[in-house]
Copies of this chain bind each other. A is one copy, B any other.
Amino acid sequence: MYVCVGVKVNGFACKKDADVTENDFFFSGLAKPAVVNNTVGSVVTGANVEKIPGLNTLGVSLSRIDYQPGGLNPPHTHPRATEIIFVLDGELDVGFITTANKLISKSIKKGDIFVFPKGLVHFQQNNGKEPASVIAGFNSQLPGTQSIAVTLFASTPAVPDHVLTKAFQIGTKEVNKIKSRLAPK
């Protein structure tokens, strides 16, 4: 078999067939809800090639997302993949915005499926009274994530104020307020 788990390919390892084991294709880290103790009220746990070496060159991965009541997976993009979610528990309001600036949104619940096309800004929010969780499938072994607000207001070094004031049409004072609230603690 041709399994890249040892020599470096795409920055990841390739193994000889004889050295591959079942554990190269296994991961148990999505079994339990993550502890959610951040401002937005949601946590994403990845099951990608960084955790499952056997995924290298195979072009697929999963994530688990846990949401407190009211918790938001804030608007973000995946630069290298489409996402398709299955709701494990709870109720969510989900949406993405098209390149024609149209919001496509829906309230979904346990057992429902929703698709977020490749590279588009999207979000999910738990508007129920119970915790919610989803399993997300991606057509990339490492889809990457850019959380928009944090990307723009809490990068290192910082995006210049005048870029943000002009983009959002707000003042420097307001930019700095957002920056201070989103700063890593």
Residues of B within 8 A of A44 (CB): none
- Taking CB as reference atom, which chain B residue is nearest A51? B113
**Could you tell me the distance between the alpha carbons of A83 and B52 in the complex, rounded to whole angstroms?**
13
A145-173 residues at the B interface, CB under 8 angstroms: 145-146, 148-160, 162-163, 166-170
Q: Is there contact, CB below 8 Å, between B168 and A113?
A: no
Sorting the interface of chain A by its residue count into under 10, 10 to 19, 20 to 34 or 35 or more gives 35 or more
A5-54 residues at the B interface, CB under 8 angstroms: 7-11, 14, 17-18, 20-23, 25-32, 39-41, 47, 52, 54
Known A-B contacts A40-B167, A155-B102; the reply to A82 vs B97 at CB < 8 A is no
A30's partner among B111, B123, B151 (CB-CB below 8 A) is B111
Residues of B within 8 A of A7 (CB): 8, 11
Residues of B within 8 A of A22 (CB): 104-106
Residues of B within 8 A of A160 (CB): 93, 125
The 8 A-B residue pairs with the shortest CB-CB distance in the complex, in nearest-first order: A79-B119, A31-B111, A137-B137, A1-B98, A169-B181, A74-B167, A60-B139, A25-B115
